[in-house]
Amino acid sequence: MPPLTRSLPLILALPIAVAACGPQTARQALPPDPGPRAKALAEVKDQLDSVSAPLQAPGIAAAAAAAPAPTVEPLVGRGFAQIATQPGKTHNEKRLLAIRAARLEAMRDLTEQIHGIALQSSTNMTGSRIEIDQLAARISGTLRGAKTRRITPRGTDGYEVELEIDRGTLGYIVRMARGY
């Protein structure tokens, strides 16, 4: 038997073995007990990867398109604000400003979840004693389609606002951030 004929089964089995060792999906890479946010983000990432897959591998994209789309919980952002610290003249004006401040805080929370947060830190030491320890955080990103889920009074001097972004809007934001 010629050497090529003997190695033909091995050559044919090699692409199958390489495909089995290929990159994991985000859901497969999750730890054993992930939180609901981690699951939701992994599912959205897998869906986005399957959308961009036709450019890379048509056979895999067709298989992914045939699979039913999993339901993904929306991302939720929460914000809190106190009424007494607001600069309004009347109690009602302060109350409305507190709701607005809590809403902006919830938007910031959503932006952190979608785009991440940039941290900078510096520490100055004299001898073996810390003199100055600084930490700065910066969040930058576009947020579209955030819907108010609820506005809840907290005690007598505060509000909590919950905003949510559905998976379709989240996918759009991530695609735009990636430059598609």
At 13, which amino acid appears?
Answer: A
Residue 105 CA to residue 148 CA, distance in Å, equals 12
Q: Which two tokens stand for residue 172?
A: 């759009």
Q: For residues 134 and 112, is the Cβ–Cβ distance under 8 A? A: no
Question: pLDDT 10s per residue in the chain (180 long)?
Answer: 455 445 444 444 444 444 444 457 777 777 788 777 777 777 777 776 665 544 444 555 555 555 555 566 789 999 999 999 999 999 999 999 999 999 999 999 999 988 889 999 999 998 889 989 999 999 988 888 899 999 999 999 999 999 999 888 887 877 777 776
If DSSP codes are grouped into helix, strand and coil, which group holds residue 133? strand
Pairing of strands 147-153, 75-82: unpaired
Residue 77 CA to residue 80 CA, distance in Å, equals 10
Residue 30 CA to residue 19 CA, distance in Å, equals 20
Where do the structural domains in the chain lie, given as residue ranges? 34-73, 75-178
Q: Within 13 Å, how many C-alpha atoms sit on residue 20's CB side?
A: 5
Q: For residues 80 and 100, is the Cβ–Cβ distance under 8 A? A: no
Closest alpha carbon to 170 in 34, 29, 48: 48
